[in-house]
Structure 1
Amino acid sequence: MADRPPTGPHAGRRRVTRALVGGAAVLAAGGASAWYGLAGRSHAAGDPAGVGPVTLATGRDTTHYLGGLLADWNAEHPDQPAELVELPAAADEVHAQLAGELSAGGSRFDVLNIDVVWTAEFAARRWTAALDEAEFALDGLLPPVVGTGRYDGRLYAVPFVANAALLYYRSDVLDAAGEQPPTTWDELARQARTLAPAHGLGGYAGQLSPYEGLAVNALEAIRSAGGDLLAGDGSVVVDSPQARAGLEFLAGGVRDGWIPPEVLGYQEEESRAAFERGGLLFLRNWPYVYHEVATAGSPVAGRFGVVPLPGPHGPGSGVLGGSGLAVSRFSRHQRTARALIGYLTSRKAQSRVLTDGGLPPVRADLYTDPELTARFPYLPVLRTAILAAGARPGVPQYQQLSLAFSESAFEVVSGRRSAGVALPRLAADLRAIVG
């Protein structure tokens, strides 16, 4: 997942992209059922009432909070115990293992903790069961996150963890200069260009290595400038002056030096480490970084703050991250699976997602809870960021789209091509992918 530490090397990207574009064209021409191969398949036989033991499949629980949540569930439901199945930490490996099991119609997994960008793919492949929205307390969730669980007008995943990026800044440096955190791109660039060198710091880092993280960084810049990848009707609109302006802002930062050249190799953890050791004035990253950087012993603990991402003329546009809980269509105990999702998205469980797991909850009232905001002072800023953020394109072919987009974005930010040259080619690739 792009909002957690990183996925792996990305060699041979143009060859892979062209192959995926071709596969997506087959999907567009031949129809979903021909490509997915699962249309009409029934779920595995089980208890007619749909009640019994279930498993929760998730990427590695690096903060060890899920075990406690499931222990509480199991104490209250001894005849419907939930078992945690931890998959690898890397998102692409999680996707591969879930896809392998579900494409074979396997019933090993009941509840799936999936990245929000997988919702459409898993639903279109008929791997996940449609859910009755009335069964879940969706009105208590942050409004933007609810849409990440829908595909083709139906709910397929209940939001579990929210996420939107923040701008981390060195408060001691800005205070010494008598300056406020930037609210526009011009202010960000000026401070990164002038204040950072005076303190021996790099100006700004995001995640500009060619992977999903760059796709998110680039989409934030494009949307902040008023552009997008796809329109609401699914048509490709990336070849626009606004999209060019967004990418050229990042490319200009690299070219002018206030984005250090090593940032072109940064994913989430490399950029976090650079900020935490005191090497950067500004950092774009996810909320999990706050806990790491605020820890006693961190070189910048007590000397940083967070604000929403800036844009060209004011607040920028973030991109929603996080995950949702879906029910495998092949689960033998779907009634219990749905009940477990209801429990995991309850206020009590969501509070522990934050306090025990350090992850942003989806329930809106937790962001204004006095006890929680005292303990997690970034919550009001994060709430603002989430409410202003938008989802990534909700298309079944998102994996292919992201690969093509991150590759083109890297060509631009690294200075290999101008946005004016790269974006028409990207637009052609995206049309082949989404049809």
Structure 2
Amino acid sequence: MRRRRHSAPLLTATALLGGAALTLTGCAAGSSDESAATDELTGRGPITYVSSPDASGAAQKSIDVWNAEHPDEQVEWIELPLDADQQRQQLAQNAQIESDAYSVLNLDVVWTSEFAANRWIVPLPDDALPTDDLIPATVDAATYSDTLFAAPYYTDGALLYSRTDLLTAAGVTEPPTTWDDLRAACDKVLALPEAQGMSCYAGQFDKNEGLTVNFSEAVASAGGTLFTEDGRPDVDTPEAKAALQFLVDGFADGTIPEEAITFQEEQGRQAFQDGKLVFLRNWPYIFKSLSAEDGSSAVAGKFGVSPIPGAEEAGVSTLGGRNLAIAANAENKATALEFIQFFTGQEQEEARLELSSRAPVYGSFFEDEAVTAKYPYLPTLLTSLENAQPRPKVVKYGETTAVIQDEVYAAITGDKSVEDALADLQSELESLAG
């Protein structure tokens, strides 16, 4: 069915969560509430799928397959804005007014705890998903208060995309492991005549969720963490200072181009794809577009992937990805559950991998030699996932990410010193933590 636009008003769970989870507060779902919610997964009929845009068209193809087989249970796609913060705001507002307009919600993994704690989504039955076949970290990211509230849809870890053709021409034989390596490689590449007009490096630095991710990764890659093991904010530290200084210096000395201050994922992807960058930090999904041989990519066959660099050794990715959940106020929840099971099943995951490069949540894909031969970034992604750290699983995530963005953005735009930005961020996060 036609999409409708609305404007906005392995990997072990224990290792991934260590030192990063903020103590959860607010209304947690009790066991009696969970049982009741599961019993309410009834009703069949039309539903909506509420998601960010998908330029690959892969998700729509899955929906078309479902709709062809379910004439009385059609799925309509309600497309959210591209900006992640606007997505979360629109989803939260719909829940707060108790509207039944949304059925199946496509959630950033870090929103799942917030939505579960506020009872904006309902628990899934224990046997709803083949959890033993899924990467454990993805199941953990879909779980709140020991209860599965969502289905892992795809997983994500950061990758460093590199212009291997230019690195080779400049005599650089290995991708950068550290930030110093990255700068040194750029110095050599940008001295080449064929690199005239190019810039060194970009990530996602617009003031939205991508900035939180990039800052979190930089802190972890400098040996720090945003929160202590007992859930207290811990950002006014030498490690966080080194991380933020790397970003600030990058903009100041031109390592990061000035225009990257507006980059979200797609702007960065387009800049690298057009041949304007030597290095780009981004997610696996862009691999397909970069590899296109229809003339749309200037870097097809000329790039490689590696783990992101860090301060003194290979960097640490943020755990990304998406979950699918059932809105608490939705009608036809039985259809919604069956659609989620279909949409996140191995057959549809494989089809979307072909079209979109979205990383599957089934561990078997990463072990299949035929699959990894076709998608050579998967082993590198697995390394990224094995070392990844999650963003804090916090009920007040919207407020938490907003203050991180405000203070980091103030520093990289020169409105605050690194020291003042981190001191203010520490204070604001402590106020939120209570």
Q: TM-score surpassing 0.5?
A: yes
CA distance in 1, matches of 2:204, 2:84: 16
Root-mean-square deviation (CA), in Å?
Answer: 2.8
Matches within 5 A, 1:133-172: 133-172=126-165
Offset of residue 74 of structure 1: 4.4
Aligned to 2:268: 271
CA distance in 1, matches of 2:81, 2:271: 25
CA distance in 2, matches of 1:252, 1:398: 28
Offset of residue 168 of structure 1: 0.8
CA distance in 2, matches of 1:70, 1:378: 27
CA distance in 2, matches of 1:48, 1:408: 42
Q: How big is each residue's C-alpha offset from its partner over 1:171-213, in whole Å with a ceiling of 9 and x where there is no partner?
A: 1121123321111222112112343243323121112232221
Deviates more, 1:299-308 or 1:205-214: 205-214
CA distance in 1, matches of 2:205, 2:62: 35
TM-score normalized with structure 2 length: 0.84
Which 5+ residue runs of structure 1 have no aligned equivalent? 1-6, 9-27, 34-39
SS at 1:130 equivalent: coil
The sequence identity of aligned pairs, in percent, is 39
Aligned to 2:314: 315
SS at 1:282 equivalent: strand
Aligned to 2:425: 426
> Are residue 54 (structure 1) and residue 47 (structure 2) matched?
yes
Deviates more, 1:144-153 or 1:419-428: 144-153
Residue type of the alignment partner of 1:412: A
CA distance in 1, matches of 2:145, 2:239: 28
Which 5+ residue runs of structure 2 have no aligned equivalent? 1-6, 9-23, 28-32
CA contact (8 A) 1:229 1:238 kept: yes
Aligned to 2:185: 191
Alpha carbons of 1:337 and 1:416: their partners in 2 closer, same or farther (altered >3 Å)? same
Residue type of the alignment partner of 1:119: T
Aligned to 1:382: 381
CA contact (8 A) 1:164 1:382 kept: yes
Matches within 5 A, 1:398-409: 398-409=397-408
CA contact (8 A) 2:83 2:208 kept: no
Matches within 5 A, 1:281-360: 281-296=278-293, 297=295, 298-360=297-359
Aligned to 1:22: none
Offset of residue 121 of structure 1: 1.9
Residue type of the alignment partner of 2:228: A
SS at 2:190 equivalent: helix
SS at 1:135 equivalent: coil
SS at 1:314 equivalent: coil
Offset of residue 222 of structure 1: 0.2
Residue type of the alignment partner of 1:404: V
CA contact (8 A) 1:43 1:332 kept: no
CA contact (8 A) 2:85 2:209 kept: no
Aligned to 1:228: 225
TM-score normalized with structure 1 length: 0.83
Offset of residue 277 of structure 1: 2.1
Aligned equivalent of 1:118, options 111, 122, 137: 111
Q: How big is each residue's C-alpha offset from its partner over 1:100-131, in whole Å with a ceiling of 9 and x where there is no partner?
A: 33222222322211122221221122111122
Offset of residue 429 of structure 1: 0.7
Residue type of the alignment partner of 1:230: F
Aligned to 1:12: none
CA contact (8 A) 2:142 2:148 kept: yes
CA contact (8 A) 1:225 1:242 kept: yes
Alpha carbons of 1:206 and 1:75: their partners in 2 closer, same or farther (altered >3 Å)? closer
Offset of residue 397 of structure 1: 1.4
Offset of residue 423 of structure 1: 0.9
Offset of residue 148 of structure 1: 1.7
CA distance in 2, matches of 1:257, 1:87: 34
Aligned to 2:88: 95
SS at 2:321 equivalent: strand
CA distance in 2, matches of 1:385, 1:47: 38
Q: How big is each residue's C-alpha offset from its partner over 1:398-427, in whole Å with a ceiling of 9 and x where there is no partner?
A: 121111111211222334433222211111
SS at 2:278 equivalent: strand
Alpha carbons of 1:133 and 1:229: their partners in 2 closer, same or farther (altered >3 Å)? farther
